[in-house]
Each structure stands twice: as C-alpha cells, then as structure tokens.
Structure 1
Amino acid sequence: MGCCASLFIYIVDYLREMNAVCLRTIRDPWITYMQVRHPNILSFLHSTEAETFDGSSTKVTIYIVTEPVMPLSEKIKELGLEGLFFDYALSISAWDEYYAWGLHQIAKAVSFLNNDCKLTMECEVLLGILVDGEIRGFLFRIQHKEVHGNVCLASVVVTQTLDWKLHAFDVLSEFDGHSEAATGPLLQYEWLVGSQYKPMELLKSDWAAIRKSPPWAIDSWGLGCLIYELFSGMRLGKTEELRNTASIPKSLLPDYQRLLSSMPARRLNTSKLIENSGEFL
C-alpha cells in the first residue's frame, strides 16, 4: 500500500551554451533545501531530475517529493466554506487563534533559517600541485546562515493535521555579509520574487546594502507581508498596501510595523517576534 505525498515540479529551460556553473546555481536552492530538517519546514522525501534536448536548448525537470500538503490559501477557503475547523463554523476569534498558531510555526521556521541554520558546505581549493598526473587540492567546510528570500502567503503549505510549513525555496541563499563576492540564487534570480514583496533594498538590487544588513532583514519584511495577506484576506497587490493596518490585530501591530521598517538594520528579528508576541502568538 502506497503512502500519500506531494510532488513539486520545477522546470528549467536553458541554452546549451550555459556552463555547468550556471546549472549548478539553478540546482543549489534545492540541494540546500534537501539538507534542512526542521518541524516547521516542509519535509523532503525524495528527488530526481531528467534532461531533455530540443534543438539548441535543454530542459531540466526537477521532481521534489514531500510530505502531503496543500497551499495555505486553498486550505483557508476550504475551512471557511465548509466550517471544518473543530467541526463548527469558524468565528472571528477562532480564525485569529488558528492564524496565530500558524504564524508562530512559520516564524519559528524563518528564525531557524536566519539565526540557527548553519549548513555546512564543502569547498575545494586547488593547490596547483601535480600528483600522479592530477592537480591536487584540499577540501574545507564553511558554514552560512540562510535567507529564504520569498516569504509570503504563497510560500506556506498546510499538512493533513493543519500544521503550517514553510516551502518555496526557489531563491534560498546563503548569507555571508563579510564577503563582497558572495553570490546565490537570490542575487541571480531575484526577479522570481514579486516586486510587491520586495523591501526597498532588494527592489533596487542594492546588494551592498543587503550584505550590510542583518541576515533576517529580507525575511522579516516577507513575514510582514504574510501577516498582511492573512488578516486582510487579500493577496498583496503593491507594496503601498502594507500601510493599511486596519485589519492587523492591535496586539500584533507594533511588531508588524517593526518587521516592515524602511531601515533593514531596524527590522525585527523573527526570533524576537516569537519572544515578544506571547499575548498573540
């Protein structure tokens, strides 16, 4: 008897002239995601990929198998229409309670990536020493914190037990504020992130400012966008809509505003959001 699972399909078209480094950059977020283990991050089960050739281009299809989930936006509609939560129609307070618990789970996932997740990456340094006809070097390991880069309603899925999980790791990147040469999917593929979800420094592609910012700055902004979308009941259409705080619970409003600070260095660390919002979360 087979078990239930969800399948995510990621398709990349690229010219044959693209070198292996470019293709590796495309794969890197998924490789990094496969190393992450956290109860509030979508559980990875298996992956495979296939290449097909069509004239001058190559299509790479990456298949990611995870625990069974559905998009949060769809689950909200399902619960609202059918009143399945606790077997009765949801009141406003019940919705708030469910949202609060879900936000707590996502805040823990984001905080883990930004503050605690130190994935070890192997790097090879070539010494230029010829041994047995081969250039030899050595491997060393470095550790970096991670930036999700696209936290919003669409990056949250719900399990069969109604737990919220963070997913959508298309631009997941290491954060190394000390290296001006640091690169990653967020830098090369920031166009995958909707402009309405970008803080000003990302919208302007100001990488110097981003490197000087705390590792949580971009994802804290994204968490603010998620909060807006949850309580307004609408997808964020443009950044200016974040100023409309009428739907934000009063107990959450101060932290919501700090998450969306125009100054990256002043944005609330999601670990502090968890600590500060005991009354709501």
Structure 2
Amino acid sequence: MTEIPEHLLKRSKDRQQSGATPSTDVAATTPASAPAAVEKPIAPVVTKVLPDPAYVAAAKSRKKIPFWAMATLSLLPLWAFMYVAALKPQEKVIEGPLAIGAIAYGSCAGCHGAEGQGGAGRTLYQGEVMKTFPKIEDMLNFVYTGSQAYVTAGLKVYGDPEREGGAHAPLSYNGNPMPMQGEKAGGALTEAQILGVVCHERYAIGGTDPKDEKWAAEYETWCSPESEIFLALEKGTSSFETIDKDFSMLPGPPAHVGIEPRESGK
C-alpha cells in the first residue's frame, strides 16, 4: 500500500479547515482573462450624386438618329462631290477640222496673235477674215500658196476685190509676206490641216456663228465634224486640185481651190 506524503495530507487538512474547495482555489489562483474587444460597426459611405449639367441632360434626352438616316447621311460626301462637279463649267469638246486647226494654228499665232489680234501679220478676229475671204475656197488657195506666189504670178489682190474698207494686196501689210503653208508649195501643212486652220480662223478666232444663215451651209460642208470634204482630205481620197469635181454632187458644191495662185472666185 502506497503512503501519502505528509505535506499533501497537511495541505488537504488545511483546506478543509478553511472551507475552500479545490475548484474555488483553482479559480482564485487563475488570472481573469481580459474582456474581448467589441468591434464598432463601419458606417456606410454615402456618395452624393450631382445632377448632370444642362447640356449633358439635353444630350441624353435628345432623340438619336435612326438607322435609316445614318445610311442617308453616309451618302452626303458623294452628293457634295457631284454637286461641286456640276458647278464646274463643262468644257466644250471640239472635233473635226476645228480640232485639227486649233493645233495647227500654233505656227500662225506668232504673226497673227494667239487670239487673232494681229502683230507681224494681219488681224483675224472680229469678222476681219470673212470680210477679206467671203469664199472659203479663196482663203484655202491663199494660205496654201502664200503671198509671194501671188506677187510672182502678177496678182494685185487676194480675197474679195470689193472688200469693205478696201481690197488687200500681197505684201501690203508692213511689207511682210504671208508664208506658203502647203506641202507642194514648200510649207509643212497637209491639205486637211490647212482646211482645219482656215476653219479655226473663220469660226473660232473670227467669231463667226456657224448657225448664222449666211454661213451655216459653208460650215456644214467644210468645217463641221461630219464634213465629207475634210474626211476625204484626211484619207487622201481628194485634194485641193480635184475637190470641186469630187464633191460636185453636194447641194452646195465647192468651187475650185487649186494649189497655184489664182484670182478670187476662179
């Protein structure tokens, strides 16, 4: 049998005398725990919403562009381009003898001026050409041969001898000769080009209205884009020497042109 130590018996006896219980003693000797901290509730953050400015509110309330209108608006740049293009003046397309003549006239402009205002050569604008050469055949002959050939042939006048303001004589303008233009006369232009230059001088530079009753038949026969004479000269199927015979069937048949100097109307 195990013996209980004396000091334990004595301690037990003392406790009984003092009336303390073991559990109470343990509780008394156990330090009191600190009370738990109480968390304070976090107050919710209240965000103050400011009203939209007037222009923002107006934009939000404004009606949106419908889908079909967007398609229409997308065509506005194309419409603007077409509108601007329509405002530009349309360039007049020149064809036939007048087109050829406008190019060939570059070699004549040095003497007669780009606008036919004259210079070393005579004035061609403001109807002066028609006064001198009322018949286109006479002008074609003179341009082909040149004025020096007229002097050599003893011809005193070229063009209309009854010209208003007086007939023109070869070398009568500042003593300057009119150079020959035809190939066989020593010039550089074909007969089709000479016809083009003459048409250009009569109707473009000279300012004659091709619809004028006095000149309409001449224009249609010689200078229109559909001129059979011009087309034949271009193709080489006719010439100034045979043109009167080749087109004698026309309502207004041409007179003889020729490539040698001659009197007007011959």
- Greater strand content: 1
Structure (1 or 2) with the greater helix fraction: 2
Determine which structure has more spread, i.e. the larger CA radius of gyration.
Answer: 2
User: Shared fold by TM > 0.5?
Assistant: no
TM-score by length of 1: 0.24
